[in-house]
Structure 1
Amino acid sequence: MITSIFLRHFKIYKGITFIPISEGVGFSSLIGENGVGKSSVLEAIDCVLNQKNNNWPINNEAKNEGVGGDNFPYIAPVFLIKKEKLRNTKLADQELFRKAEKLSNFIWNNNLKAPTKSSSAFNEHVNELKKSYDKDDYFILIVGKKHNDNSIYFGGYQNYLDFIGEKPTIKPSEKEIQEYFKGFYDYIISHYSYLYIPVETDVFTYTKLETVEMQKLMDKNIQDEIVKAIKPGTLKQINKDLNYFVKDVESILEEYEYKGYHKNSLTMPDLVSKIIEAYFSIKVLNKKPKNGSKLIPVSELSSGEKRKALIDVAYSFLLKNKNTNSNVILAVDEPEASLHISACYDQFEKLFSLTKNKHQIIISTHWYGFLPIVLNGSATSIRKKASNENSADFFNLYNYRETITQARKKTKGKLPIDYNIKSYNDLVQSILFSILKNEPYNWIVCEGLSEKIYFEIMFKNEIENNKLRILPLGSFKEVRKLYNNLLSPIKDPDYTINGKVICLIDTDSERVEVDYENNNKNLFFYRLWNNKKNNLKTELIDVNRNSMNPPTEIEDCLNPYVYKQTLIEFTEEYESIKSIISNCEVRENATNSYSTFDLRDSEKDDIKAFFDDNQGYNKIRFAEKYIEILQKPFFKDENEMEWIMKIKKVIN
């Protein structure tokens, strides 16, 4: 997988720019205004992986200033590769594998030394990857090229690869580097098939079976298939019969004869090329009409239908082709181009679903309605500064609304327009269209990431069978804001709403006010609350109900036995938790985690301090451990909490 890329003097990118693309997940998006360089990133990867080294569009300013000497353009993608996926059986491959291991160890263990923003950004990027990927299991490799130069290039590490040669303290020369890594570039990129669909792609040409792109999608080489189809001796017999024919003609001509300048017989490549020309060139992709009328050639489809056809073709082949010999990276420039917003949703969902087959998907887009349907992915916001430089901000889509909320706090409310306002508007629009569909989506909109971690397991069947999506927004105010924006269109009698949206928040000590209408059958707003009059059982209550005591968070509403077992996992770190576990038994009539133990006020404070520790990150750690234990055989048959069953009933 490609996790990031360094660009220098490529199209809009003047100077060295670092663009983060992924932190290891399969779906990545590049967002931003027109002209900031989103498509340029996809095109740059195309130049490197498909070896278009002589056709780079160089930055005009750099051209005017001169790009010779040390001021050369280069493209250097960064790869994260599971070690077992790299070929290591043949002798030549084993040697290159060992070099990959040395290079990877060097990058894992050494920061880029140049005092530049791009170097600092890359070092941060590697540190983030370290949190999820073990260097003993994964290679991280920079494998790049200079413009009009077939030598390999490692970006900022080029002059520091001191593991080369017998004397590690001496920096290797450029000649030594190229000799040492001879064949390494081809070795690495041979593991990948990069398919790039620019926004102006001609669907008629692209989908012809003989094109390189289609052969990559099919993971088959048409030439090899034709050779296999030709029976042994066929070519020999053709040449023999034709030779007899020519001899007969020459016997009539007497003073003349036919002779080839370079060869006198057909070769297998000759025969294959003619079969491709005669057979495959006449095959045109057609759309099957739903009503059974005649086929429609893709060239006659509307602009939006052509764009949809491109994605449909790629989706169909990649969905079926799970055992491809190479890692497929599909890059699509503006998948939403020419499509109505109602069709955009399906387009993006198809692309995201391909990541389940271990394919990497990278898109550039102006339409942000896809953000809420991505369960695991990333977005890179590319912006152009006043200084005419490009910058890139990376954020995780797993909890993207919460991320934006936190980012807004850091910047005191100032965020780029592209993912502050537009993403929110597209989010609302996207949810609305998703619940209008005949096979609608359903939504649980909650406050924090910890809720999403719990809910993705608690509502696993609903996610798979009822298109349920869990959307954390970061705060109660954000949940209320989304509810208010959805209320009017959902109430509108002109809309036929088929899906459900459940807004769910904690019960805080202070009462909150929401203009809630509890008679709506598609839009709900609940609070979690532990009812003292009902044995502290967790209930879902209307958001405006007066009951505020006790304050109730998601950590108070869990299964008591799984809750205790999860707390045990933290006793080595927290003496206060160890003391509670040692001295307190689970109450026989415990209905939830809040009532698990009979705690003194000081012990309740210890529990609260535990969850608030690490700037609240313990909530995430606890949630991850809780769902891990919940899925173990001993606990998985535990009766579901009533409030969970109520939500399932609403969705179903």
Structure 2
Amino acid sequence: MIISLIIRHYKVYKGINYLPLSDGTKFSSILGENGAGKSSILESFDCFFNKKPFSDWSINYEAKSEGISGDNSPYILPVFLIPKDKLRNSLKADIEQYKKAEVLSNFLWNTTEKAKGSSLEAFYEHRKNIKEKFDQNEYFLLLVGRKYKSSGCFFGSYHKKLSFINNEHHKEYAETELQDYFDGFYEYIISHYSYLYIPVETDVQTYTKLETQDMQKLMDKNVQSEIKKAITQKTISQINGHLDKFVKDIESVLETYTYKGKFKNNLTMPDLVSKIIESYFSIKELNKKIPGSTKTISVNELSSGEKRKALIGLAYSFLKKNSDRGSNLIIAIDEPESSLHISNCFEQFEKLIEIAKENHQILITTHWYGFLPIVTEGTATSINKGSDNKISTDFFSLSNFREFIKQEKERHKKAKIRGPLSIDYRIKSYNDLIQSIIISIIQEEPYNWIICEGSSEKMYFEYYFKKEIKEKKLRILPVGGYEEVLKIYNYLLGPFKDSDYEKKGKIICLIDTDANRVDAETVVNNKNLYFKRLVFNKKDNTILYKINSDLTTETTIEDSLDSANYVETLKYLSDNNEELKPLIKSENIRETSTYSKDALDLKDSEKDILKDFFNKDFGKNKLVFAEKYLEITDKVGVNKTLGWIEEIKEIINK
């Protein structure tokens, strides 16, 4: 994947700029005001991966006026983090390039070379964070770029410092020696990737034609190869034979004239394939099905926002159903929210987040910040353009977005500088999200929402509420802890106290019951906004209560499951966890229990072992457990009705 970009004299980026884009996760967002240089990043990658001619490069006008030849040439230099087992290493030619990757990567993981400017220092700072998460024995750290109006490979500030090229007596190597060494390396690296760029002004009708290169990247099936499978060489020979006979019959009538091939005398496979593509696909265009009808409407007749939805929907559908791909796909999208009604923004970004989870890298530019509080694996790069036109960046992981904002606020306070990041992004992100939710529930066909704490809750809810998700447009929104659920609920209170517009959809905010009691203001007699707690009441075997209930038994989502399937899941996981085995002895199992909270008769010390298991590695075991539990539940079904699930269904459906 791409983790950063070093860029020089391209569009707004005068001089050498280091732009961090990923911490090793697949979802990367680029934020900033208009004109800051967000789209320039995606465009430059298009030039790099798709070998755009140098005439397509947009060179910084100031640099151009000062002169951009020689050592001042523009360049585009991506930095890659690649699992070693993902680079081809079987054919002889590939083995040679793989060895070059090994040597270059070892150099980049460890070098401390200095250069003018701050770009290398920024790279080393970024590299330090990458080293904490990735083992250099398992991953290549590589960079290889294109220099304006130059052929071959380019390595930026390292171009003349790659000591491994010729380390005999530390002799400096010549440019020809470097290019000979890295001959074919740029082509080798980019051959592993398909870069799909969707600018704001994309012509949807042209873009979605199946014969285009961009569509083939999405399908990862070359149309030509598919046609070749259907047409054998024997078929072509038969066609040529019949046509030759036909031409000879004509020539026998013409007597003094003959037909000769201008360049060749027979049809070839490429001739036939190109004509089939031209004839077959040119008559087909993407249409949208009209719900409840057999009629369709051409995407060309849709609104601008609907066209944008169609593009993302198309990519989502192809990639969700086609995980077995021959190349690594990088999808770069300028402003996915462009022209969309704000009520549709969440769904648009939700699809992109899901595509990233399918192991495809997503790069987006955006002015809609509603996704910031909800992405658990991804990054944001804030591009800031100063009054002197110099570019600076803020780079942060979205998994600790809130912590980063607090730190930035404190840093700016101590430095006595204004902190637009802490104010703008934090406030705007929640405002965008809340606005999107509110507008979605006042439509004629409203959305419904469950706002919950974490990803494991989302996994359970997507299973238990399949029907509601499909029929009632239910959306599950995990926000990273009870404090965030409470914050969003408080944001929602204002609009719900406003009676100027009718709320049709339902919003259920749902949290666990922790050791610390949580209370909240509630809206009296409101049938559309609920705040509930999971809290086990042993007296009547119930588990869902209003937020301000007096019940205080600590209860998590794992305590609220089907008891029999819960125990079966623990048994399966105990095969690889010796601490769990003593907990699920037959004498500890309560066969008649409904909920997992009451499934095992455990001592306090044993309960602590179970609690530690779920909280281990920042809750990763919760996700592992959820996946296995749902797999078992899917096979054997739910043994007993879970009352709290049915109660939520009743709220959504009434």
Name the TM-score class by shorter chain. Answer: 0.7 to 0.9
> Amino acid of the residue matched to residue 35 of structure 2?
G
Indicate conservation of the 8 Å contact 2:77/2:143, yes or no: yes
C-alpha separation in 1, matches of 2:275 and 2:489 = 63
Distance 1:625 1:264, change over 3 A: closer
Q: How far apart are residue 525 of structure 1 and its match? A: 6.7
Aligned to 2:420: 415
**CA gap 1:116/1:472 in 2 versus in 1, 3 angstroms:** farther
Structure 1 range deviating more: 406-415 or 28-37 = 406-415
Report if aligned partners of 2:251, 2:257 keep a CA contact under 8 Å in 1: yes
3-state SS in 1 of match to 2:428: helix
How big is the shift at 1:370? 2.2
2:366 aligns with: 365
TM-score (norm 2): 0.77
What is the distance in 1 between the residues matched to 2:626 and 2:503? 40
Q: What letter is aligned with 1:387?
A: D
What is the CA distance between 1:399 and its match in structure 2? 3.1
Instruction: Report deviation, 1:235.
Output: 2.1
Query: In structure 2, what is the Cα distance between the partners aligned to 1:316 and 1:458?
Result: 24
Tell me whether 1:42 sits opposite 2:71 in the alignment.
no
**Secondary structure at 2:276 match in 1:** helix
Alignment of 1:306-321 (within 5 A): 306-321=307-322
Corresponding residue of 1:428: 434
Deviates more, 1:390-399 or 1:35-44: 390-399
Q: CA offset at residue 371 of structure 1? A: 2.2
Q: What is the CA distance between 1:462 and its match in structure 2? A: 3.3
**Counterpart-to-counterpart distance in 1, 2:534 and 2:243:** 85
In structure 2, distance between residues paired with 1:270 and 1:119: 51
Provide the C-alpha distance between the structure 2 equivalents of 1:513 and 1:329, rounded to a whole number of angstroms: 45
Do the aligned residues in 2 keep the contact of 1:142 with 1:155 (CA within 8 Å)? no
1:242 maps to what in 2? 243
Match of 1:20 in 2: 20
2: CA distance, partners of 1:321 / 1:405: 40
Tell me which residue corresponds to 2:328.
Answer: 327
Distance 2:440 2:299 in 1: 28
Cα distance, 1:132–1:520 mapped onto 2, change above 3 Å: farther
Deviates further, 498-507 or 58-67: 498-507
Answering whether residue 450 of structure 2 is matched by residue 442 of structure 1, we say yes
Report deviation, 1:320.
1.0
Superposition pairs of residues 45-84 of structure 1, within 5 angstroms = 45-54=45-54, 55-84=56-85
Displacement of 1:329 after TM fit?
0.9
* Deviation per residue, 1:173-192 (Å, 9 max, x gap): 22111111111111111111
Q: Which runs of 5 or more residues in structure 2 are unaligned? A: 466-474, 536-542, 560-569, 571-576, 580-601, 633-641, 650-654
CA distance in 2, matches of 1:427, 1:80: 32
* Shift in CA distance, 152/592, structure 1 to aligned 2, threshold 3 Å: same
CA deviation after TM superposition for structure 1 residue 86, in Å: 0.9
Who is 2:87 aligned against? 86
Deviations 1:284-334 (A, max 9, x none): 222222232432222122211211111111111111111000011111111
Percent pairwise identity: 51
Q: Provide the rounded CA distance (Å) in 1 between the counterparts of 2:647 and 2:332.
A: 39
How far does residue 632 in structure 1 lie from its aligned partner after superposition?
13
Which residue pairs with 1:97 in the alignment? 98
- Greater displacement, 272-281 / 458-467: 458-467
Q: Distance in 1 between matches of 2:353 and 2:433?
A: 17
Query: CA offsets, 1:131-173, max 9 Å, x none?
Result: 1110011111112111222211122221211112352723332
Superposition pairs for residues 211-360 of structure 1, below 5 Å? 211-360=212-361
Describe the superposition over 1:317-373 as per-residue Cα deviations: whole angstroms up to 9, x where unpaired: 111111000011111111111111111211111111112221111111111122233
Write the distance in 2 (CA, Å) between the matches of 1:621 and 1:225: 48
Residue 35 and residue 625 in structure 1: after superposition, are their counterparts in 2 closer, same or farther (change >3 A)?
A: closer
Q: 1:440: how far off?
A: 3.0
The answer to whether the 8 Å contact 1:3/1:22 transfers is yes
Match of 2:179 in 1: 178
**2:479 maps to amino acid:** L
Q: Which amino acid aligns with 2:67?
A: G
Report the equivalent of 1:641: none
- What is residue 490 of structure 2 aligned with on the other side? 484
Alpha-carbon deviations, 1:540-560, whole Å to 9, x = none?
996799x99xxx9x9xx9xxx
Distance 2:623 2:296 in 1: 51
What is the CA–CA distance in structure 1 between the aligned matches of 2:71 and 2:233, rounded to whole Å? 55
- Match for residue 205 of structure 1? 206
Give secondary structure in 2 for the equivalent of 1:355: helix
What do you get for the CA RMSD once the two structures are aligned?
Answer: 4.2
The AA in structure 1 aligned to 2:355 is L
**CA displacement at 1:650 relative to structure 2:** 8.0
Equivalence for 1:614: none
Cα distance in 2 for residues equivalent to 1:158 and 1:528? 59
Contact 2:27 / 2:356 at 8 angstroms: preserved in 1? Answer: yes
CA distance in 2: counterparts of 1:470 and 1:107, whole angstroms: 38
What is the alpha-carbon distance in structure 1 between the residues aligned to residue 485 and residue 228 of structure 2?
61
Looking at structure 2, the residues matched to 373 and 435 of structure 1 have their Cα atoms a distance apart, in angstroms, of 19
Change (3 A) 1:481 1:158: same
Q: Is the 8 A contact 1:503 1:524 kept in 2?
A: no
From the superposition, tell whether residues 406 and 210 of structure 1 become closer, same or farther in structure 2 (CA, over 3 Å).
same
Count of aligned pairs: 577
Distance 2:244 2:480 in 1: 76
Instruction: Look up the match of 2:583.
Output: none
Counterpart of 1:110 in structure 2 is 111
Residue 154 of structure 2: aligned partner: 153
- Give how far 1:29 is off: 1.0
- Residues 624, 228 of structure 1: CA spacing in aligned structure 2 closer, same or farther, 3 A cutoff? closer
Q: Tell me, in whole angstroms, the C-alpha distance in 2 between the residues paired with 1:48 and 1:435.
A: 43
Note closer, same or farther for the CA distance 1:308–1:512 as it changes in structure 2 (3 Å cut).
closer
Partner of 1:640: none
The DSSP-based 3-state class of the residue aligned with 1:407 is helix
Question: Quick check: 1:162–1:168 contact (8 Å CA) kept in 2?
Answer: no
Distance 1:340 1:125 in 2: 37
Name whichever of 167-176 and 70-79 sits farther off. Answer: 167-176
Q: What SS does the corresponding residue of 2:72 show, helix, strand or coil?
A: coil
| Contact kept? 2:145, 2:153, Cα under 8 Å | yes
Asked if residue 496 in structure 1 is aligned to residue 504 in structure 2, the reply is yes
C-alpha displacement at 1:24, in angstroms? 1.0
Q: Alpha-carbon deviation of 1:458?
A: 6.9
- Contact map agreement 2:451 2:485 (CA 8 A) in 1: no
Q: Secondary structure at the match of 2:233?
A: coil
Contact map agreement 2:458 2:477 (CA 8 A) in 1: no
Q: CA deviation at 1:77?
A: 0.9
Structure 1 unaligned spans of 5+: 446-451, 530-537, 569-586, 597-619, 638-644
- Following TM superposition, by how much is the alpha carbon of 1:627 offset from its aligned partner in structure 2, in angstroms? 5.7
Once the 2 structures are TM-superposed, how far is the Cα of residue 624 of structure 1 from its aligned partner? Answer: 4.9
Offset at residue 472 of structure 1 (A): 4.3
Aligned twin of 1:461: 460
Q: How far apart, in 1, do the equivalents of 2:627 and 2:368 lie?
A: 41
Q: Does 426-435 or 28-37 show the bigger shift? A: 426-435
Given that 1:26 and 1:361 are in contact with CA atoms closer than 8 Å, whether structure 2 keeps it comes out as yes
Indicate conservation of the 8 Å contact 2:370/2:428, yes or no: no
Alpha-carbon distance in 2 for matches of 1:458, 1:290: 31
Q: Could you give the per-residue CA deviations for residues 518-563 of structure 1, whole angstroms, max 9, x where no partner exists? A: 866665679999xxxxxxxx99996799x99xxx9x9xx9xxxx9x
1:460 Cα deviation (Å)? Answer: 4.9
The code of the aligned residue for 1:501 comes to C
Match of 2:240, SS? helix
The 2-side partners of 1:171 and 1:240 are apart by: 63
Shift of 1:391: 1.8
